[in-house]
Amino acid sequence: MKKNPKKKKLVDYVWIGKLVLLAFLISIAFTFISETAIPNVNIIIGILLTLLFIFIGVLFDMIGVAVASADEAVFHSMSARSVKGAKMAVRLKKNADKVSSFCNDVVGDICGIISGSTGAVIALKITENFNFNSLVVTLITMSIISSITIGGKAIEKGLAMSKSNEILYVFARVLSIFKRN
């Protein structure tokens, strides 16, 4: 009995290796940005950068959920009509497990980790500048970051599920701008 050549492998070790390498490189880039920028800026700019990392994490989490829950047939129809970005959307949907893993686990998790570390630097700056109790400042800072992240992800998941086709299409259109023909 022959194996079906189109059947996907249960575990794609090459993809996992690429994903781990990509996570490593993105983590280095984000950590470099946060570790070089946050200690050298005022508290307000540090807070804005932390919020940016949270926003990026929530945005990519939304994209990952949307790709996983979108309807591929819609994009085949759009692709047949040569709608810009539709072919990219089909490609993303066909690889939904990989796209979702990258968006949710790589970018989303790295942003969560980086926003926590930037929060620690901000807490330290607040403690030093205002002579507040470091434990209290750290607890409040980390609680605020966690609450914003969790609240943002709770909002985006409902949105991603109900507007998955629209979110996937916008993401595919943006990616198709950078794709060479």
Quick: pLDDT tens for 106-116.
999 999 999 99
Q: Are 108 and 61 in contact (CB under 8 A)?
A: yes
Mean pLDDT estimate for the chain:
91
Domain positions in the chain: 13-174
pLDDT digits (tens, 9 = 90+) for 133-179: 999 999 999 999 999 999 999 999 999 999 999 999 999 999 998 88
* Whole-angstrom Cα Rg for the chain: 20
67: left (phi over 0), alpha (psi -120 to 50) or beta: alpha
Angle (CA) 20 91 72, round 5°: 120
Rounded to an integer, the average pLDDT of 74-82 is 93
Q: Residue 3's pLDDT is what?
A: 53
pTM, two decimal places: 0.86
Q: Dihedral of the CA atoms 94, 96, 97, 98 (nearest 10)?
A: 90
Residue 27: C-alpha distances to residues 7, 68, 81, 108 (Å): 33, 24, 39, 11
CA distance 102 to 78: 25
CA distance 109 to 70: 22
